[in-house]
A = this chain, B = another copy of it.
Amino acid sequence: MDVMFMITCGRYIRSNLYLLLLIIVQFGPHTVEGVWPLPQAFTSSSERYPVNSQDFYFVYGRQSAAQQGCSVLDTAFKRYFSLIFPNHKSADGVLGFSKRKLFIVETSVDHGDCEGYPNEDSSERYNLSVSAGKATLNAETVWGAVRGLETFSQLVYQDDFGSYFVNKTEIDDFPRFQFRGILLDSSRHFLPVQAILKTLDAMAYSKFNVFHWHIVDDPSFPYQSSTFPDLSSKGAFHPMTHIYTQSDVRRVISYARLWGIRVLPEFDSPGHTKSWGKGQPDLLTPCYRGGTPSGTFGPVNPALPSTYRFMARLFKEVSSVFPDSYVHLGGDEVDFHCWRSNPDVRAFMQKMGFGGDFTKLEAFYIENIVNITSALNKTSIVWQDVFDYHERRTSLSVVEVWRAGCYLCEVRRVVKAGLRVILASPWYLDQPGPTHNWARYYTVWPLAFKGSEEQKKLVIGGEVCMWGEYVDATNLTPRLWPRASAVAERLWSDEKQTSSVDKAFPRLQDFRCKLLRRGIQAEPLYVGHCKHEYQGI
């Protein structure tokens, strides 16, 4: 993959000018509509150009701020070469061509930061122009270039004789929402690192950009903390085989980085912490029955100063291990029964003047944890429960809305309070259902509430939740894909261009076949077939 001599403009064409040029073309798998999620602005034609693996190169534009040696793009070039030419070791795509033709994909970025991490402000915009023998890809950042390479890879197709082609295409693309996440739960079932990496691959194919790692919860604590090793040695399902070592975590983060995916860790408290208690004595609240300790434990004990010292040390470690500027603090579903039963907690309530209102105690606890993470320069996300109970809402930053019912009512309340929102309620994909239900996840309109433009901008994105009660590595992939891809299009693409389920259906079927071709065990949407069926049994 040599750097070639072509010169590029080094700037993407601005979308508002570009839109004027739009020609709406017929839907068809070999045109730009074959790209999932649908790009924001595009034209394509039936003019096609041969592409073959022997004479195909990814190169850096001469004026690109990143050049060979850029880890993100060097890796992306390698990955996408294999994805575009899955059989490139055999002679593919050369049948019927006596004269070989060179095809180059010239990539240029404005900012050359190749060693950093994607963050909440990273531009993912790109501009892709495909003509005879050449595709030009321009982006502000390497993360935008990675999205553009994904698009390019989806534009290349094979004819019935095995030859590869790409059609004349112009694309100017950018995400509708900045935060497009998938939550995996590695506590209810342990997910081997391989399963996580494979999910990161599939996420990149649908242009997801946040892996929300719900890493610990009641059933197990697989995160191996260097500060508190007992948490996993006593709280994991197995202290050796069912843990994520520091090296595992680093591997996940660096693998995700190369796909432009942020890793957002969640250490949910004060509820959902049963497994924490095994390795950290005195952390959880002892529950009482009839005036004596019952032997069971409730949420984290908010009445002890030692709790906050422990949390400060834990989050200090977490903040340095996970580079992302966001951290998820949980805060959902706190059961007050145990706190109420405990005389020390009740005495603390008296002292603090909380009366009998345990939501105040919860707010006090979360306020402390938010302060701890703020001091570590992290933006905290909390589940909506915290917002609902909190009086001093201004100390909060980002609220994740997860409850069913009128979730847009909640979104509206949160943005009215001036806080940012991530929407998860309509996208609980851990719940099984016939795959044709994908339309249920597709026909979600996250901004369909009354509010100002400024308020709507506070909806920073959405998230697919794959809770682990019934999910592990055996069924994660077919349960996630292609249903999560429906969500991906909702979060990336223009809503007006993607409001029709009927138009989306054949495109999603086609995209699901692409996932199979890439070894992703994506389940079928309905009766039918793919050219290359899943064989990996």
**Known A529-B238, A529-B242: A192·B537 in contact at CB below 8 Å:** yes
Q: How far is the CB of A252 from chain B (nearest CB, A)?
A: 14
Instruction: Decide yes or no whether A220 CB sits under 8 A from chain B.
Output: yes
**Known A516-B474, A522-B474: A194·B432 in contact at CB below 8 Å:** no
Q: How far is the CB of A205 from chain B (nearest CB, A)?
A: 15
Instruction: Decide yes or no whether A241 CB sits under 8 A from chain B.
Output: yes
CB of A523 within 8 A of CB of B238, answer no
Instruction: Decide yes or no whether A524 CB sits under 8 A from chain B.
Output: yes
User: Which partner residue on chain B sits nearest A199 by CB separation?
Assistant: B537
CB of A523 within 8 A of CB of B474, answer yes
CA distance in complex: A433, B521 (Å): 19
Chain B residues, Cβ within 8 Å of A472: 523-524, 533-534
Number of copies: 2
User: Which partner residue on chain B sits nearest A520 by CB separation?
Assistant: B474
Stretch binding the partner chain, chosen from A151-159, A282-290, A463-471:
A463-471
CA distance in complex: A536, B346 (Å): 51
Chain B residues, Cβ within 8 Å of A531: 238, 241
Secondary structure of the A side of the interface?
loop
Extra pairs beyond A188-B527, A470-B526 (5, CB < 8 Å) = A194-B537, A219-B527, A238-B531, A470-B525, A475-B475
Q: How far is the CB of A215 from chain B (nearest CB, A)?
A: 15
A-side residues, CB < 8 A to B, are: 188-190, 192, 194-195, 198, 219-220, 237-238, 241-242, 431-436, 468-475, 477-478, 516, 521-529, 531, 533-535, 537
CB of B432 within 8 A of CB of A190, answer no
Q: How far is the CB of A516 from chain B (nearest CB, A)?
A: 7
Chain B residues, Cβ within 8 Å of A533: 190, 192, 241-242, 472-473
Nearest first, the 9 closest Cβ-Cβ pairs linking A and B are A475-B478, A237-B529, A432-B432, A475-B523, A474-B521, A188-B527, A474-B534, A198-B537, A194-B537
CB of B194 within 8 A of CB of A535, answer yes
User: Which partner residue on chain B sits nearest A532 by CB separation?
Assistant: B241
CB of A524 within 8 A of CB of B432, answer no
CB of B527 within 8 A of CB of A468, answer yes
CB of A219 within 8 A of CB of B478, answer no
CB of A534 within 8 A of CB of B478, answer no
CA distance in complex: A242, B219 (Å): 44
User: Which partner residue on chain B sits nearest A469 by CB separation?
Assistant: B527
Chain B residues, Cβ within 8 Å of A474: 477-478, 516, 521-524, 534
CB of B432 within 8 A of CB of A528, answer no
CA distance in complex: A431, B537 (Å): 21
CA distance in complex: A470, B220 (Å): 33
Q: How far is the CB of A472 from chain B (nearest CB, A)?
A: 5
CB of B470 within 8 A of CB of A435, answer yes
User: What are 27 inter-chain pairs, A to B, with CB distance below 8 A?
Assistant: A188-B527, A189-B524, A189-B527, A189-B529, A190-B533, A192-B535, A192-B537, A195-B537, A198-B537, A220-B529, A241-B533, A242-B529, A432-B433, A434-B469, A435-B470, A470-B524, A470-B525, A471-B524, A472-B524, A473-B533, A473-B534, A474-B477, A474-B516, A474-B521, A474-B523, A475-B523, A478-B478
CA distance in complex: A192, B219 (Å): 38
Chain B residues, Cβ within 8 Å of A190: 529, 533
CB of A473 within 8 A of CB of B529, answer no
CA distance in complex: A237, B525 (Å): 16
User: Which partner residue on chain B sits nearest A237 by CB separation?
Assistant: B529
Q: How far is the CB of A431 from chain B (nearest CB, A)?
A: 7
CA distance in complex: A237, B513 (Å): 14
Chain B residues, Cβ within 8 Å of A526: 469-470
CA distance in complex: A500, B15 (Å): 65
Chain B residues, Cβ within 8 Å of A242: 529, 533
Q: How far is the CB of A534 from chain B (nearest CB, A)?
A: 5
CA distance in complex: A468, B526 (Å): 9
CA distance in complex: A523, B475 (Å): 6
User: Which partner residue on chain B sits nearest A481 by CB separation?
Assistant: B474
Interface centre among A188, A238, A469 (most CB of B within 10 A): A469
